[in-house]
Amino acid sequence: MTRWPLPEPMLEALALARKAGESGEVPVGAIVVKDGEVIGEGYNLTRTDHDPTAHAEIVALREAARHLGSERLVDCDLYVTLEPCAMCAGAISHSRIARLYYGASDPKGGAVEQGARVFDQAQCLHRPEVYSGIGESEAAELLRDFFAERR
Residue number with CB closer to a second copy (19 or 96): 96
Residue number with CB closer to a second copy (19 or 67): 67
The amino acid occupying position 75 is D
Count, residues near a second copy per rule CB under 8 A: 45
Residue number with CB closer to a second copy (8 or 51): 51
Bridge-partner residues for 76, per DSSP? 34
List binders of a second copy among 69-88 (CB under 8 A): 69-73, 85-88
Which 3-state string (H, E, C) describes 20-34? HHHCCCCCCEEEEEE
CA-based diameter of the chain, in Å? 43
The pair phi, psi for residue 45, each rounded to 5°, is -135, 20
Q: Which residues are catalytic?
A: 57
- Confirm if 111 and 117 have CB atoms less than 8 A apart: yes
143 is a contact residue toward a second copy (CB under 8 A): no
46 is a contact residue toward a second copy (CB under 8 A): yes
Q: How far apart are CA 132 and CA 148, in angstroms?
A: 24
User: What one-character DSSP code corresponds to residue 69?
Assistant: T
| Part in contact with a second copy (CB under 8 A); list of ranges 2-10, 30-38, 54-62, 128-136 | 54-62
From candidates 17, 30, 32, 95, binder to a second copy by CB under 8 A:
95
Interface residues with a second copy (CB under 8 A) are 46-47, 49-54, 58, 61-62, 65-66, 68-73, 85-91, 93-96, 107-111, 114-118, 121-125
